[in-house]
Structure 1
Amino acid sequence: MHAEMTIALAGNPNSGKTTMFNALTGARQHVGNYPGVTVTKKEGTITVNGTATRIVDLPGTYSLTPYSEEELAARNFLIGEKPHAVVDVVDAGTLERSLYLVVQFLELGVPVIVALNMIDELKRRNMFIDSAKLSTLLGVPVVETIARDGQGMDKMLSEALDHAKAHKGEVEPLRISYGADIDAALDELEQKIMAARFLTDRLPARWVALKYLEGDEEVLERGRKAGPLSDELESRAAKLADHVKKTLDTTPDALIADHRYGFISSLVKQDVVSKDVTHERLQISDKLDRVLTNTFLGPIIMLGVLYGMFQLTFAVGEIPMGWVEELFGWLSGAAEAAIPAGLFQSLIVSGVIDGVGGVLGFVPLILVMFFCLSFLEDFGYMARMAYMLDRVFKMFGLHGSSVMPFIISGGIPGGCAVPGVMAARTLRSPREKLATILTAPYLSCGAKVPVFILLIAAFFPQQGADALFIITLAGWAMALIVALILRKTVIKGPATPFLMELPPYRIPTLRGVLIHTWERGWQYIKKAGTVILAISILLWAAMTFPGLPEDQSQAFESQRAAVEQQLEQTSDETAIASLNEQLGDIDHHLAQAELRHSFAGRVGTFFEPVTELAGFDWRTNIALFGGFAAKEVIVSTMGTAYSLGEVDAEDAGSLSDRLAADEAFTMWSAISLIIFTLLYAPCFVTVVVIGRESGWKWAAFSVVFNTALAYSLATLAFQMGSAL
């Protein structure tokens, strides 16, 4: 067997690159992050003609000039790891635009193979590409493929390996003219770079010069660290920029892009693309878009699609969710029977099984939701949603690409802020990305919904649907309003244009949708098995220790013994019932005393003078402190705090009755608690993700700012409502 070869898959978003990667590697995939950035890195290993071949799926990118983390990660991989060959997956239907990335690979001196993907769709449009002529003109292999059906894949891999072995990872960089002004400056800079061997250990001299003229910040930063020549190169680039601005009223990078497209146009016009004009027709995608992105019908259809997805999620997911809950119920019963009563049994049953089981019970719903989202993404509809909402989001300092993070975070109740925050990676502007990340947690994620249902059942039992709908709209409204405030104050900056390709509609493959669903679902399952498990154990310990002092415990035991003695001495059924009720009251007060004396109880009591302004007593405080870790635990913590034992988040009716009967817990307390739960600090895992995506300073800001905002609005609502 030959030494391992590395083949990178590159291409524009929606070119079918990931479909090709999934088809090639199947289950033999590994997922991680690129060094220094949060962009997902996927790779797998296969054997081709006796050669072990490592396939790396680069992030989708339109250009090698890095405007986003995805583009930076893709370029740094090419420069740092130097794959033996790059397969550029090109959407055959958008040939001219897609070849822009091919040209940049050739300028960098990368061995490229062009995979003309979705060639079947092009033929259905009665258009044809002469791949042999295109190969001759570009000087690289060109292979026609249909990734979803696996057609052309074997030939593509074979060509890629042959091309890699023939060039040993390097080819002569492409040299094209960018106009007299650019070419003169480029030649001058190239000579200086070659003479000083400046950054040429990994990069072609002409390419480095080109990046200086384009003002590529990442390359400029490398150059400044490499030596003083960088200052001279930057000075020459600045003179060119000034000259181009005065003479042509443009910039060097715009001129360079224009000449690249001119080069591409000259290729295509050499009879590379032909069309049967007698059969021209309006594309199915165009026909669908006339309806689905219509100014008036589009938003209505979009709401209907999202509502239908939400309904389908619960309709399909409820039955398997019941099976999962029954499984964990059986595990709890088995553990109680097998482990003697005591602290260890309590830890295993309450801290581990019920803690993790409460979260894993939602896995069927989460998987169905992710299946629907994956289908809509692969179908091409998600891009249309962002397109339609871009105008609205711009009014609040956000971006059309902010739509999906909001939806995933809970724009339709049941989402999760963790993948929502991660979805903000698609935003190119750091400021708009940050505003999206900081406001996405305001939506009604699946962890908050049980809290809302609990309070609605207690105080608004006849208006449940309306109340939940209002809460959902309130989450959207607060996210947009806070985004506007942030963009006007701490995250100032110009808005970026919304440039999103509207890919053609395609019927997704079942395999592709299932792979995408599992990738997302596995992240949720890992959270339950790691973070939530740790949180459950910590909360159990905080609400159990240090326990009552011996003298107080003895007092309760004495009361219990006295009542039990009376039970033994009487046979009157009425008296027995009364005495049993007394025993229940003693146990109730004992549980209250133990909880209040615990570490969690002491903390809740300490903050009560402040939180009572918002209508929260010490027991509610305990639940809300648990919610800092994970909102899923608020209902069960309140159940324990009200001495009802553990409460199922999906069936908290008994706790609702106790809340409704508690004189200290009013309707305005419930409204205040809903507001606070909706807005206060993101859960622990979300804070960690925010820290990784945008920095720990902003993660801390989200905790402090969100909690202060939530407390202020909750207090305002409670005080005004109580005064009525």
Structure 2
Amino acid sequence: MSSLNPSSRARLKVALAGQQNAGKSTLFNALTGARQHIANYPGVTVEKKSGTYADGDLKVEVVDLPGTYSLTSFSLEERVARDFLLREKPDVIVNVIDASTLERGLPLTFQLIEMGVQVVVVVNMIDVAERLGLKVDPEALAAQLGVPVIVCVGRRGVGIAELRAAVRQMASCAHVRSPKIVDYGTLEDSIADIERRLEESSVRPAGISSRWLALALLDGGSEAETLLIGPAAERQAIAEAARSARETFGLSAGTSASDHVIACRLRHALDTIQASVQDRRRGLPISERIDRVLLNRWLAPVFLLATIWAVYQLSIVQGYELTKVTWPLLASFRNWASSVLPAAGFLTDPFARAFGLWMVDSVNTLLNYVPIFLILFSLIAILEDSGYMARIAFILDRILKRFGLHGQSTLPMVLAGVFAGGCAVPGVMATKAIPDPRARLATILTVPFMNCLAKVPLYTLLISMFFPENKGLVLFYLSTITVVVALLVAKLLTVTVLRKMETAPFVMELPHYHLPTLTGVLRRAFDRTWLYIKKVGTIVVAVAAVIYVLLQFPGLSADRIAYFQGRAEASIAEFHNRMAGNPFAAAVPSQERLIDLINVYTAYRAEKLNAGGKGASDALDAAYASRHPEFVPFLLRRGTDPNARKASSALKTLADERKTLRREMKEERLTVSALGRIGQAMEPVTRFAGFDWRINVALLSSFAARESSVATLGVLFGSDDGEAKRLEDRMEAQGRTNYTPLTAVSVMLFFALYPPCLATMIMVRLQTASTRWMLFAIVFPTMLGLAVAGTVQLTGWALALDGLTTISVIYGSALALLVVVGLYRSPREVWRTVRATPATINTRETAT
């Protein structure tokens, strides 16, 4: 590395390297603030985060490298981090280590120092280590490593100034060091031989330590050989010498050179810790004592299932009760919107009114579930902050491996909604961290099966309608059967179309348990709920506008309009006949005044239904009597005046007939609309699954945004004028489509397996760089969902089962299949296990 004088150079490049969960991102944010840029490394899907900060006359560029435990290129992250360090040649590497897990972070530190680059070690989260009884001596650690050591508490900004000063100082160092940090024992002779060959040849790239490259050739194999440059003959000779040395060492030592290197680094890490850390812990740390119970082989699944059950019981089952409080508020808002929009016509409304109420109904249907999401997100935040969410990943890793997935597939699934509180978009994005292509692609294709946040409204709607006494059980079925299906599909994919792809080892870091803070939980819950509300206000509203157009076009024919107009005129004539000779008929001398009367009556009845108690009802009567004194005889039946009773009766009959006509016109208009015809055209295919054209339309709209399914049902089963009923009540009142609990089960299971929304499909295209896989992600789940929905209908019909029994049978069958597939091991897997040596297994587990 060339000499760098900060006083004469205006720019530095600094790389942040370290293991996952060590606080690199926190330090990155503390250093760069808002001056950040996020992109992908060229040719790969790993995220590249960079930013800048000013230090006097210097402009420092900071690059946050992917979290990694080594530079041996087992995973994509390791290759990206290693290639960046070798090719970009940063002026300083800031190695971030978790103070409470030094033994896992120091092996990477040794590799970075062995590269011969300028390294500053940051021992982060020193406060956590001290609470655990660990006291790190930075001076002693610096003496052991031969590089500066800074202690930090990144989240509080402690040590940031010292870190910047150390970066500036190290950037001015001119020499390339090749220290012998770790003694590799019996491998040292081979290292020295390869190192000598590298020095005598021209294959070593400039600025790379010969010792590090020799170790890489002995440890990393073919991946390290790609680093060599120069004449092919020299490169081949060096590679052959390294391969021969590895084979010779393996035969003599009884273990591979790679495993030996890992063991030596771990041993040296423990020696370094013993010399620089005072361990004042008494007995096992509390986190380990808790894990002995929660991660017990037999108890862990029980706690996990109990946690899922509790989350659903508290959020959706109990949270649903709160919607009985919020809905009257939303209904009042609809009544207010109805009052300020242009007045309704007798049969048809002005566009502004029809479109405005359409939007209000779409949004209200979804906002009614906000209490559920507040509780759900609070519970998820508690799981995250406490540290149990990472344990869930650890527990599920044992299962994922049996189905061809990777341990790091857990995080995408959690983000996508294992607890029905995620989103498939970040779930697919999180697959970037999965190191091997096969598990990554299998995860991308199965993550959308998780119960994302947007699926919850439809689940809640149908369960509250058809399974009010068994909400918790049905929600438990839905929350877990999606995981079951995802695992089965992943296994199917990995033994068929993905069977030739490679796999890679898995490394996981379990954080210490923490007591969640009330402010942290509430902030996370409100932030996530606000994101949901913003989504309702943007995507769902946009989808609702498109659906409105598609459901209005092309409209009723002239003949049908004339037919309904004739019936309307007949009902109006009947009203006037009944009002003949009635002195109150003078209040409606014209058609316009009659429509005004009906609209006032409709609004009055709506507000009357929402009036709480006799006092509120009397106040409402007084308000309408003051605003519309001429209509009082029609609205309020006072005294024994026969003319008032006749006027009120005639108006009620006319209003009821008008409501019937408007409802019939709406249903016919929806039926002949563009979207209605598409839904009907699909019925020959979906009928065996129990779906009618309305369900088809709702499912089609959900492809743009999952929430739109409920919003579309909300307008397909729209409120009549003067009504502000919940969607459940409207669907039951208009239930001429013969929906049954069996239909609800079919719809929910199809919806769980149905292709993800448009945004997720775009993300699948970006992550796979393949239109073919994106189309597969649409077609395959659709066929699978229809098959499952059809099986529900066939099972329920053939065995004469109700909805709850049918979903129980389907769930039990899927679970039994999962157990059979999970327990089955192919002869190749058995042979691979037999061939694995105990030393290899134990060393890898220790490294992990």
Q: In which range does the TM-score fall when normalised by the shorter chain?
A: 0.7 to 0.9
8 Å CA contact 1:214–1:253 kept in 2: the answer is no
Q: Aligned equivalents of 1:382 and 1:569: distance in 2?
A: 72
Q: Aligned equivalents of 2:328 and 2:29: distance in 1?
A: 33
8 Å CA contact 2:49–2:64 kept in 1: the answer is yes
Describe the shift of the 1:209–1:334 C-alpha distance in structure 2 as closer, same or farther (beyond 3 A): farther
Q: Aligned equivalents of 1:203 and 1:634: distance in 2?
A: 58
Q: CA deviation at 1:476?
A: 2.8
Aligned to 1:385: 392
Aligned to 1:100: 107
So what's the TM-score if we normalise by structure 1?
A: 0.83
Describe the shift of the 1:179–1:693 C-alpha distance in structure 2 as closer, same or farther (beyond 3 A): same
**Counterpart amino acid of residue 750 in structure 2:** F
Q: Aligned equivalents of 2:84 and 2:725: distance in 1?
A: 47
**Counterpart amino acid of residue 436 in structure 1:** T
Aligned to 1:711: 786
Q: Aligned equivalents of 2:353 and 2:107: distance in 1?
A: 64
Q: CA deviation at 1:366?
A: 5.2
SS of 1:143's partner is strand
Aligned to 1:471: 478
- 1:671 paired with 2:678, answer no
Aligned to 1:722: 797
SS of 2:484's partner is helix
- 1:687 paired with 2:751, answer no
- 1:460 paired with 2:463, answer no
1:575-630 per-position Cα deviation (integer Å, ceiling 9, x unaligned): 65444433323222211222222221121121122211222222221111112222
Q: Aligned equivalents of 1:570 and 1:499: distance in 2?
A: 83
Aligned to 1:606: 681
After alignment, is 64-73 or 85-94 more displaced? 64-73
Which of 15, 19, 22 lines up with 1:15 in the alignment? Answer: 22
**Counterpart amino acid of residue 501 in structure 1:** E
8 Å CA contact 2:701–2:708 kept in 1: the answer is yes
Q: CA deviation at 1:488?
A: 2.6
Aligned to 2:293: 291
1:77-134 per-position Cα deviation (integer Å, ceiling 9, x unaligned): 4456544422211123433432222233234443210012244555566655553344
8 Å CA contact 1:189–1:233 kept in 2: the answer is no
**Counterpart amino acid of residue 636 in structure 1:** A
Describe the shift of the 1:345–1:213 C-alpha distance in structure 2 as closer, same or farther (beyond 3 A): farther
**Structure-to-structure mapping, 1:27-176, within 5 angstroms:** 33-48=40-55, 51-79=58-86, 81-122=88-129, 129-167=136-174, 171-172=176-177
After alignment, is 513-522 or 628-637 more displaced? 513-522
Aligned to 1:180: 189
Which of 523, 544, 551 lines up with 1:543 in the alignment? Answer: 551
Aligned to 1:700: 775
SS of 1:113's partner is strand
After alignment, is 619-628 or 89-98 more displaced? 89-98
Aligned to 1:398: 405
Q: CA deviation at 1:235?
A: 7.6
- 1:416 paired with 2:423, answer yes
SS of 1:504's partner is coil
SS of 1:631's partner is coil
Q: Aligned equivalents of 1:654 and 1:475: distance in 2?
A: 29
After alignment, is 468-477 or 679-688 more displaced? 468-477
SS of 1:607's partner is helix
Q: CA deviation at 1:193?
A: 4.5
Q: Aligned equivalents of 1:71 and 1:404: distance in 2?
A: 19
So what's the TM-score if we normalise by structure 2?
A: 0.72
Q: CA deviation at 1:379?
A: 3.9
SS of 1:462's partner is coil
Which of 662, 679, 690 lines up with 2:736 in the alignment? Answer: 662
Q: Aligned equivalents of 2:302 and 2:732: distance in 1?
A: 38
Aligned to 1:443: 450
Describe the shift of the 1:424–1:478 C-alpha distance in structure 2 as closer, same or farther (beyond 3 A): same
Aligned to 1:431: 438
Which of these two proteins has the greater Rg computed from alpha carbons?
2
1:194-230 per-position Cα deviation (integer Å, ceiling 9, x unaligned): 4xxx865x8678767765665577777788xxx9956
Cα RMSD after superposing both structures: 4.5
Q: CA deviation at 1:456?
A: 2.8
Which of 537, 558, 572 lines up with 1:564 in the alignment? Answer: 572
Describe the shift of the 1:644–1:470 C-alpha distance in structure 2 as closer, same or farther (beyond 3 A): same
Q: CA deviation at 1:12?
A: 1.0
Q: Aligned equivalents of 2:341 and 2:651: distance in 1?
A: 32
Describe the shift of the 1:672–1:217 C-alpha distance in structure 2 as closer, same or farther (beyond 3 A): farther
Describe the shift of the 1:631–1:93 C-alpha distance in structure 2 as closer, same or farther (beyond 3 A): closer
Q: Aligned equivalents of 1:241 and 1:248: distance in 2?
A: 11
SS of 1:691's partner is helix
**Counterpart amino acid of residue 730 in structure 2:** L
Higher relative contact order (CA 8 A, sep 6+): 2
Describe the shift of the 1:183–1:38 C-alpha distance in structure 2 as closer, same or farther (beyond 3 A): same
Which runs of 5 or more structure 2 residues have no equivalent in the other structure? 1-6, 344-348, 580-645, 801-848
Q: CA deviation at 1:657?
A: 0.6
**Counterpart amino acid of residue 500 in structure 1:** M
8 Å CA contact 1:591–1:643 kept in 2: the answer is no
SS of 2:663's partner is helix
8 Å CA contact 1:397–1:484 kept in 2: the answer is yes
**Counterpart amino acid of residue 159 in structure 2:** G
After alignment, is 463-472 or 513-522 more displaced? 513-522
**Counterpart amino acid of residue 433 in structure 1:** R
In the comparison of the two structures, how many residue pairs are matched?
A: 713
% same residue: 36
Which of 501, 512, 516 lines up with 1:504 in the alignment? Answer: 512
SS of 2:703's partner is helix
1:667-720 per-position Cα deviation (integer Å, ceiling 9, x unaligned): 433322222112121122222222233343322212111100111121222134
SS of 1:418's partner is helix
1:535-574 per-position Cα deviation (integer Å, ceiling 9, x unaligned): 3332222222232334433333333233323323323566
Describe the shift of the 1:518–1:441 C-alpha distance in structure 2 as closer, same or farther (beyond 3 A): same
Which of 313, 337, 342 lines up with 2:340 in the alignment? Answer: 337
Aligned to 2:243: 241
SS of 2:16's partner is strand
8 Å CA contact 1:148–1:509 kept in 2: the answer is no
Aligned to 2:494: 487
Q: Aligned equivalents of 1:455 and 1:433: distance in 2?
A: 34
Q: CA deviation at 1:252?
A: 14
Q: Aligned equivalents of 1:409 and 1:524: distance in 2?
A: 14
Q: Aligned equivalents of 2:760 and 2:268: distance in 1?
A: 50
Q: Aligned equivalents of 2:327 and 2:574: distance in 1?
A: 44
Q: Aligned equivalents of 1:645 and 1:504: distance in 2?
A: 56
8 Å CA contact 1:415–1:446 kept in 2: the answer is yes
Q: Aligned equivalents of 1:704 and 1:163: distance in 2?
A: 56
**Structure-to-structure mapping, 1:256-267, within 5 angstroms:** 258-259=260-261, 262=264, 265=267
Describe the shift of the 1:278–1:674 C-alpha distance in structure 2 as closer, same or farther (beyond 3 A): closer
